[in-house]
């Protein structure tokens, strides 16, 4: 399957149950309305519905139903699967079901791949259910459009007609989809499993970069804790060790040993001076110098 095509033409209306995805608007899928065009004249615009089950997809268009007038239906049936394909054999029955009446018509075969031509002539106005039954060798299915209005006359239909504005939509005909590897999928949040190989450079965000400066000479040893660029650093964590061992000048190890020896000598001298100053062996001035 061409995954690029599928990912670019995702339709979010593919649900587990049968739902009305395009209720009462002009046939945008077949390009009858373009741009910001809005029909406000005296002509009835077709109704278009796109509905799904787990087996099939139905796209159907027809003009609003009027009592005493014949309405024609172009029912586009698609068999769902890894790719969506036009139904090329089988029969479709359409039924207009009211409280006490039922009107039916049947197409024994598609007039062209995927398209079944049907017609109904309702007698009385009211609210009905429009039911499509499809029977093929591979599957059978039933799709229902609830609350379909049959109007008493054309004027009543025009009064209740909803104006539609088609914006910047991509028009993609069923006939086009049937000719290629095409499928719709419901948009879902899920783990991203595919790998895209690429190269790049990890840069710190402004203010997140800190420069560490060594205050003495030495050799840097990272040991086993090697950090990758962009990885987190915790407070108190040892990043590296700087050792001056082996340096002839600026040897930090030698300086440390000298400082430690001087500290130990001064500590002993200070403890001795405290005793001597109590016994008045040394002056207070000499003690303060030793303390300093």
Could you tell me if 232 and 165 lie in one domain? no
Would the pLDDT of 251 be above 90? no
- Tell me how far apart the alpha carbons of residues 276 and 27 are, in angstroms, rounded to a whole number: 109
pLDDT band, residue 167 (cuts 50/70/90): low
Asked if residue 44 belongs to a domain, the reply is yes
- Tell me how far apart the alpha carbons of residues 153 and 160 are, in angstroms, rounded to a whole number: 11
In the block, tokens 């790998």 appear at 195
pLDDT of residue 274: 86
As a whole number, mean pLDDT of residues 196-218 equals 81
Asked if residue 205 belongs to a domain, the reply is no
Kindly state the greatest CA–CA separation across the chain.
Answer: 133
Out of 152, 178, 204, a domain closes at 178
Would the pLDDT of 16 be above 70? no
Out of 178, 203, 231, a domain closes at 178
How many whole angstroms from its chain centre is CA 21?
19
- CATH label of the domain that carries residue 78: 2.60.40.1930
Could you tell me if 17 and 131 lie in one domain? yes
Could you tell me if 160 and 29 lie in one domain? yes
Out of 125, 147, 178, a domain closes at 178
Would the pLDDT of 56 be above 70? yes
Mean pLDDT for the chain overall: 79
CA-wise closest residue to 58 among 6, 105, 93: 93
Could you tell me if 53 and 147 lie in one domain? yes
Could you tell me if 156 and 80 lie in one domain? yes
Could you tell me if 130 and 27 lie in one domain? yes
CA-wise closest residue to 182 among 7, 6, 50: 6
Would the pLDDT of 1 be above 50? no
pLDDT in tens, 179-193: 888 887 778 888 877
Asked if residue 225 belongs to a domain, the reply is yes
Q: Output phi, psi for 257, to 5 deg.
A: -65, -40
pLDDT in tens, 59-69: 999 999 999 99
Could you tell me if 136 and 69 lie in one domain? yes
pLDDT in tens, 214-247: 777 788 887 676 677 777 888 888 888 887 777 7
- Tell me how far apart the alpha carbons of residues 252 and 144 are, in angstroms, rounded to a whole number: 86
Asked if residue 196 belongs to a domain, the reply is no
Asked if residue 188 belongs to a domain, the reply is no
First to last CA, the chain: 85
Could you tell me if 147 and 236 lie in one domain? no
Least confident of 10-24, 86-100, 158-172, 246-260: 10-24
For 16, the domain range is 3-178
Could you tell me if 50 and 132 lie in one domain? yes
Could you tell me if 48 and 100 lie in one domain? yes
Asked if residue 193 belongs to a domain, the reply is no
Q: How many CB atoms lie within 10 A of CB 183?
A: 21
> Three-class SS string for the chain?
CCHHHHHHCCCCCCCCCCCCCCCCCCCHHHCCCCCCCCCCCCCCCCEEEEEECCCEEEEEEECCEECCCCEEEEEEEEECCCCCEECCCCEEEEEEECCCCEEEEEECCCCECCEEEEEECCCCCEEEEEEEEEECCCCEEEEEEEEEEEECCHHHHHHCCCCCCCCCCCCCCHHHHHCCCCCCCCCCCCCCCCCCCCCCCCCCCCCCCCCCCCCCCCEEECCCCCCCCCCCCCCCCCCCEEECCCCCCCCHHHHHHHHHHHHHHHHHHHHHHHHHHHCCCCCHHHHHHHHC
Could you tell me if 146 and 227 lie in one domain? no
Total domains, the chain: 2
Asked if residue 185 belongs to a domain, the reply is no
């Amino acid at each position: 399957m061409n995954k690029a095509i599928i990912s670019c033409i995702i339709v979010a209306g593919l649900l587990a149950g049968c739902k009305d995805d395009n209720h009462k608007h002009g046939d945008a899928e077949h390009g009858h309305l373009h741009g910001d065009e809005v029909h406000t004249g005296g002509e009835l615009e077709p109704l278009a519905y796109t509905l799904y089950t787990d087996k099939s997809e139905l796209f159907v268009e027809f003009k609003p139903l009027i009592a005493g007038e014949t309405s024609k239906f172009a029912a586009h049936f698609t068999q769902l699967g890894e790719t969506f394909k036009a139904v090329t054999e089988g029969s479709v029955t359409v039924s207009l079901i009211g409280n006490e009446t039922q009107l039916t018509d049947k197409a024994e075969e598609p007039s062209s791949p995927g398209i079944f031509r049907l017609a109904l002539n309702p007698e009385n106005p009211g609210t009905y259910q429009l039911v499509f039954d499809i029977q093929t060798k591979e599957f059978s299915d039933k799709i229902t459009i609830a609350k379909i209005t049959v109007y008493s006359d054309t004027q009543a239909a025009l009064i209740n007609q909803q104006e539609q504005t088609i914006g910047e939509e991509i028009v993609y005909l069923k006939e086009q989809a049937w000719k290629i590897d095409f499928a719709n999928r419901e948009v879902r949040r899920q783990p991203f499993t595919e790998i895209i190989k690429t190269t790049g450079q990890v840069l710190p965000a402004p203010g997140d970069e800190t420069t560490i400066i060594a205050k003495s000479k030495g050799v840097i040893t990272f040991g086993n804790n090697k950090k990758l660029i962009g990885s987190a650093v915790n407070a108190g964590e040892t990043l590296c060790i700087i050792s001056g061992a082996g340096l002839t000048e600026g040897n930090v190890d030698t300086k440390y040993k000298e400082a430690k020896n001087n500290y130990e000598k001064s500590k002993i001298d200070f403890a001795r001076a405290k005793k001597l100053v109590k016994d008045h062996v040394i002056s207070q001035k000499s003690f303060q110098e030793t303390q300093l």
